Structure 1
Amino acid sequence: MSFNNIYDISGSAMNAQVMRLDTIASNLANADTAASSEAEAYHALKPVFAAMYQQSNDATDDSNGVSASVKMLGIVESDRAVEQRYEPNNPLANGDGYVFYSNVNSLEEMADMMSASRSYQTSVEVLGRVNSMQQSILRLGQS
């Protein structure tokens, strides 16, 4: 595997974690939003990722013909039920006096944020180590 492939893999992993952090930020920002119906209530967003492996027939490719990356397949809404509270004096209350709140679980989102941050940091460390390896190889070539 060439150094370029390592950079590509780490870069795609970092992009995936940034998208994950973006959806978490959106979810946390809307955690306590209220609506007058279940359909209007904010539903938590979840990114969907896949590992992509590609076979290369390029003779100049020194990666043994295989490369990998992380691909974002899309963003889906959580199917968890929204919270329904009886608040007849709330201006958003429906005819029955209920207000609907988002289905965001702040505790889960915070744990997911910590996981995404650590994954991002791991990719940064991989890039740092590859850079250090390349510098060591260059110093060997100079001596």
Structure 2
Amino acid sequence: MMDGLFKSMNISGSGMSAERFRLNIISQNLSNANTTRTDNGGPYRRKSVSFEEVLNGSMSNSESFGGVKVSSINEDQAPFRLEYEPDNPDADENGYVRYPNVNALREMIDMISAQRAYEFNATAVNTAKTMYNSALNIGK
């Protein structure tokens, strides 16, 4: 009984956790938007997050949705931004510096999307909590 009672809260909680992780990756992208040299030697590559559903077996042995989780962190293979800066120590033989493939506008749009998804899940948790409290007060 208790499993079913809190299932919606657990599903929304998993969504909140996944979106918080996505926000961390977006923040990492923004903070490295001008990093021309990483430990791997080249410019920073934009990262994105992929989610997948979490399936839980139910009593009928069929699969039922149980939330969401981060399945992978992917590096964007888009080309780097080239800027002509012949005096930069990271410039190539033609004077061009390769900058990360991070677009601040795209990151801000992704950040707003992740923030809204987080808020929707938080609202669902609060609504479920209110419903459960109302149900408990019926017997009083």
Instruction: State if a TM-score over 0.5 links the two structures.
Output: yes
SS in 2 for 1:52: strand
Report the Cα offset of residue 39 of structure 1: 5.8
* Structure 2 counterparts to residues 40-79 of structure 1, below 5 A: 40-57=42-59, 66-79=64-77
Any unmatched runs of 5+ in structure 2? none
Any unmatched runs of 5+ in structure 1? 59-63
SS in 1 for 2:139: helix
Between stretches 2-11 and 49-58, larger displacement belongs to 49-58
Report the Cα offset of residue 86 of structure 1: 1.9
Q: Which string of whole-angstrom CA distances, capped at 9 and with x for unpartnered residues, describes residues 7-58 of structure 1?
A: 110110001100110000000101122249x961110010110122222238
The alignment's TM-score, normalised by the length of structure 2, stands at 0.88
- The percent identity for this pair of structures is 35
For residues 105 and 67 of structure 1, the distance between their equivalents in structure 2, rounded to whole angstroms, comes to 34
Greater than 4 Å deviation, 4+ residue runs: none
Report the Cα offset of residue 2 of structure 1: 2.1
* Structure 2 counterparts to residues 14-93 of structure 1, below 5 A: 14-35=16-37, 40-57=42-59, 66-93=64-91
For residues 93 and 72 of structure 1, the distance between their equivalents in structure 2, rounded to whole angstroms, comes to 36
Between stretches 113-122 and 79-88, larger displacement belongs to 79-88
Report the Cα offset of residue 75 of structure 1: 0.2
Between stretches 119-128 and 27-36, larger displacement belongs to 27-36
RMSD: 2.2
The answer to whether the 8 Å contact 1:55/1:66 transfers is: yes
For residues 98 and 37 of structure 2, the distance between their equivalents in structure 1, rounded to whole angstroms, comes to 5
The alignment's TM-score, normalised by the length of structure 1, stands at 0.86
Q: Does 1:120 align with 2:107?
A: no
Name the residue aligned to 2:92: 94
The answer to whether the 8 Å contact 2:53/2:65 transfers is: no
